[in-house]
Structure 1
Amino acid sequence: MASQNQRSSRASRPRVYVLVPLLRREAETVDLTIRLVSEHALTRVHRKIFKEVHGRLFEIWEKYEDDDMTTTQLLRTCSHIIGLGPSTTQYDIHDEDF
């Protein structure tokens, strides 16, 4: 029988079915990244992406500050923007801000 620490440790680790698609996506971009670095083009691409992502984050932050969105909505939207969402797990308790 697993101890409480072992169960807790297992629960906090990312699941394989979550990690595999992320690792595959990363592996698919390695060749392109190597080529872009060798051509000194990567800096321009990163600047454009950085600018777009931060622009979108600032837009939703403004909505949050204007009370047009809840904390939960803000966090979910941020996770989508930075590429961590959507979450396949939803808990009803998180649907309303307390």
Structure 2
Amino acid sequence: MLIPLLRCEAATVYLTIRLVSEHVLARIHRRKYKDVHGKLFDTWDKYEDDEITTTQLLRRCSNIAGLGPDSTHDPIHDEDV
């Protein structure tokens, strides 16, 4: 189980080294985090403008960060949606 994962990782080392040396990898990471931060700030603005509830704020931030559930259905807080 671990051997195939290590083999896959080893296959991408050369490409990763090349991308880092050409500063391409840093640009890709910056773009990714810029998009994530933009979504988080938009969500916070909606919360401050009372467009969404605290539960919705936390759920959206969790989903943006990739930590939340795939579904927005939550039977405990359905009234908040």
TM-score by length of 2: 0.63
Corresponding residue for residue 49 of structure 2: 66
Counterpart CA distance in 2 for 1:77 and 1:91 is 13
Q: Which moved more, 1:43-52 or 1:30-39?
A: 30-39
Name the amino acid aligned to 2:26.
Answer: T
Establish whether residue 31 from structure 1 lines up as the match of residue 12 from structure 2. Answer: yes
- Aligned CA RMSD, in angstroms, stands at 3.2
Counterpart CA distance in 2 for 1:31 and 1:75 is 35
TM-score by length of 1: 0.54
Gaps of 5+ in 1: 1-23
User: Structure 1, residues 41-90: CA drift from partner, whole Å, max 9, x if none?
Assistant: 111111111111111100010000111101111111111211123256x6
Give the paired residue count: 71
Establish whether residue 80 from structure 1 lines up as the match of residue 63 from structure 2. Answer: yes
Name the amino acid aligned to 1:61.
Answer: W
How far apart are 1:91 and its partner, in Å? 4.9
Name the % identity.
60
2:24 aligned to which of 35, 38, 41: 41
